[in-house]
Amino acid sequence: MINRMILNPTSYIGRGAVTEIPGVLADRGHTKALVVTDAVLLESGVTTRVTDLLDAARFPYEVFSDVAPNPPVENVLAGVRAFEASGADVLIAVGGGSPQDTCKAVGIVVANPEFADVLSLEGVAATRNPSIPVIAVPTTAGTAAEVTINYVITDVSKDRKLVCVDPHAIPVVAVVDADLMDGMPTSLKVATGLDALTHAIEGFTTLGAWALTDTLHLAAIETIARSLPAAAAGDPDAVERMALAQHMAGMGFSNVGLGLVHAMAHPLGAMFGVPHGVANGILLASVMEFNASHTGEKLRSVARALGVEGVDTMPLDDARAAAVSAVRHLVSSLGNPTTLREVGVTADGLEALTDAALTDVCAGGNPRPATRDEVLALYSALL
């Protein structure tokens, strides 16, 4: 079997990494940047951690901050117009998943104007040109958008998320600096951390998994298990470990895919506005349990990485159950919602959620094929 790995040409990882940005811009010969961020990050001063460096280096830039959560197609189109009007030749994405995904979509559309409708980018689009260069600066420890070939845009007219998979979309430079993550509210640290955990576990058990990505995912699971509670409580060392762990998980899943957790989480965001990491946290243990019989020894390895004692001598079924139980305990202990009703989902929405999940591109990587009745039953049990 031939396995493909696509990673950033360059990554800077560690506290203070943003100070590398002016030098990167100069070395690459860029002349002006469009900084893509959101209004909250701009007003709170997080984005200025980057723009102050550009000011000091006298590097020209403009800021596009009209990015909404679960960014809609209209955000992308506005970003394209802003880029074309700015005269910029490079994009700098500063933010969590929404600014990162918006920026990646803008870069792809500008370089491939035949996809200007954005909707045609869903799935694996046949773009011909690499994105306008993107320097990705995450401010959350979860999405790993800075190192993936994936991005997600919302089609508001149909209440659905478009999962786009394109090697041309990977940022040319990733800058992972925990200094920009310390100020996240506790709830955001939890949600993004559970997103990272889901990436690692789904990436480890997905159909495309192989030895190199398994190594990355197991290291990420172990690091998240010992770091997320402390990071949520404000420990700066744990925040820095989470920054690395989510990046490692992204390096893996970007190359092998995900599974049913993400397929079911995406419509929860599109139809009910559930934050993506929160949705993953609600779904993860139940989908692991559903998949268990199709994962071989992998859930034993997950249990071990999560710190379950005695897992090596347990019968396989017990080891699988221990992994599921450990995830349930972690999610609950962090205060993430555990039912769909808690996040506003109603019974009359389950049929539409099920239909959307079954057509989501992530569903194809799930280790256990799922019927419509089975997906509906999973949603119903979590209501």
pLDDT in tens, 44-54: 999 999 999 99
- Residue boundaries of the structural domains of the chain: 10-180, 186-382
What pLDDT does residue 132 have?
98
What pLDDT does residue 201 have?
98
Are the C-beta atoms of 87 and 130 separated by less than 8 Å? no
Q: What is the mean pLDDT of the chain?
A: 97
Sort strands 10-13 and 33-36 into parallel, antiparallel or unpaired.
unpaired
Check if CATH label 3.40.1160.10 holds for domain 186-382.
no
Are the C-beta atoms of 17 and 176 separated by less than 8 Å? yes
**3-class SS at 337?**
coil
CATH of span 10-180: 3.40.50.1970
pLDDT band at 372 (very low <50, low <70, confident <90, very high): very high
For range 269-277, the mean pLDDT: 95
Please state the pTM of the whole predicted model.
0.96
For range 361-372, the mean pLDDT: 97
Are the C-beta atoms of 213 and 257 separated by less than 8 Å? no
Q: Strand runs (DSSP E) across 96-224, as ranges?
A: 134-138, 150-155, 160-165, 173-176
Residue 111, number of CB atoms within 10 A of its CB: 17
Distance, CA of 83 to CA of 74 (rounded, Å): 14
Would you give the distance in Å from CA 98 to the centre of its chain? 9
pLDDT band at 262 (very low <50, low <70, confident <90, very high): very high
What pLDDT does residue 212 have?
98
What pLDDT does residue 101 have?
97
What pLDDT does residue 9 have?
96
For range 107-127, the mean pLDDT: 96
- Tens digits of per-residue pLDDT, 217-240? 999 999 999 999 999 999 999 999
For range 34-42, the mean pLDDT: 97
pLDDT at 31 over 90: yes
Amino acid identity, residue 78?
A: A
User: In the chain, how long is the greatest CA-to-CA distance?
Assistant: 63
pLDDT at 107 over 90: yes
pLDDT band at 78 (very low <50, low <70, confident <90, very high): very high
Angle between helices 260-272 and 372-382 (to 10 degrees): 60
What pLDDT does residue 1 have?
86
Distance, CA of 240 to CA of 231 (rounded, Å): 8
pLDDT at 175 over 90: yes
